[in-house]
Amino acid sequence: MSGTDQSQFEEHDYFLDVIQEDALWDHFVDESSQGSVFSSSAYLSSLAASYSRYQLKNRQGDSLAAATIFEENGAMHRAPFPFTPHQGILFSEKLNSLPSHRQVAKKMEITEFLINQLIARYGNFHMSLSPAFEDLRPFAWHNFHSAAAPRFAIVPRYTARLDLHDFDLSSYLSSIRSVRRQEYQKSTAVISETDDIETFIAIYVKNFERQNIAIDENTLQRLRCIIRTSLSGGFGRLCVAKVDGHPASMTLFVHDSRCAWYLLGANDPEWRKSAASTLLMIENIRHYAEKGIPSLDFVGVNSPQRGDYKLSFNGQLIPYFEVHFES
């Protein structure tokens, strides 16, 4: 985390504090509709990144909003930060108790305050907002009356999310694309949980080598840290699908109390026809449904081939937004 000491920016009825205490931060994240495992202290610590965690308070001392800001050379790091699909503004659940008209107005006012204060501090603004962040007007209207002033770029993105309430495997299999169902039924892969990080890394690198893409060592070290931290912290599940004893496919899911997230996948190109990846995906879906996790997120359907594969598991298309501003 950034070593920034307690700091405040004042305007009207609000001010910002830097949160240093993990317990205080995690409580806010857990209570917020926009919160997720990606905002948790444990996950943030695994990223080996420079960041500051802000909370917005009113004059009565109520915490109304919060945000993690990844920092790079004194500015905000361009979103999304690697392996962090959502990192944006989190609203306090206190706001949801307000009548709708007051809630919308208050959240808009708070968002405008955060935009102005963070741009003043960093000179730019980049976030990949949660799908639960609904009102983009403060970004769309920033500098609205100044034709020559810079404006936000608002980029629509999509993920797929599967509702795991009342999950039944037989009914679920009948709902997915027929080719996925056939792959599930024919695969002979054997699924198990594992802590074999280096085998995952080896297959992951092999995936990209097939596309003539080299993965730098810093990225691999970050991956190792994310996997290690999620497993030791109890919020990650690393699984392997073996065919004839060979690791054909591996996945890392991370989860919080509301959602499981398909964060990483690696498939050995030599075993692509084994259907191990489909069996492994459905096994993870079944596992999290049995654990009582309400939903499963496939973490992005924003490229044609990968997006089509993820949607074939019958997730609902969900929009979210990236917001970018350079002053």
Instruction: Dump the DSSP string for 206-258.
Output: HHHHHTT-PPPHHHHHHHHHHHHHHHHTT-EEEEEEEETTEEEEEEEEEE-SS
Q: What is the largest CA-CA distance in the chain?
A: 66
Q: How far apart are CA 273 and CA 249, in angstroms?
A: 11
**pTM for this model (two decimals):** 0.93
CA end-to-end span of the chain: 25
Of the candidates 32, 69, 23, the one whose C-alpha atom is nearest the C-alpha of residue 258 is: 32
Name the CA dihedral angle for 131, 132, 134, 136, rounded to a multiple of 10 degrees.
-50
Instruction: For residue 244, give the amino acid letter.
Output: D
Taking only the tens of pLDDT, the chain with its 327 residues reads 443 334 444 456 899 999 999 999 999 999 999 999 999 999 999 999 999 999 999 999 999 999 999 999 999 999 999 999 999 999 999 999 999 999 999 999 999 999 999 999 999 999 999 999 999 999 999 999 998 999 999 999 999 999 999 999 999 999 999 999 999 999 999 999 999 999 999 999 998 998 889 999 999 999 999 999 999 999 999 999 999 999 999 999 999 999 999 999 999 999 989 999 999 999 999 999 999 999 999 999 999 988 999 999 999 999 999 999 998
pLDDT at 138: 98
CA dihedral 94, 256, 45, 233 (to 10 degrees): 130
As a whole number of Å, the CA-based R_g of the chain is 21
Residues 6+ away with beta carbon under 8 Å from 153: 323, 324, 325
What are residue 192's DSSP bridge partners? Answer: 240
Beta bridge partners of 162: 296
Indicate the burial class of 255 (C-beta count within 10 angstroms; 0-12, 13-18, 19 or more).
buried
Q: What is the pLDDT of residue 189?
A: 97
Residue 109 has phi, psi (to 5 degrees) of -60, -45
Q: Alpha carbon of 59 to those of 14, 28, 31, 287: distances in Å?
A: 6, 18, 21, 45
Number of Cβ atoms within 10 Å of the Cβ of 121 = 19
Distances (CA, A) of 119 to 47, 76, 86, 293: 24, 9, 19, 37
Residue 255's DSSP bridge partners are 260
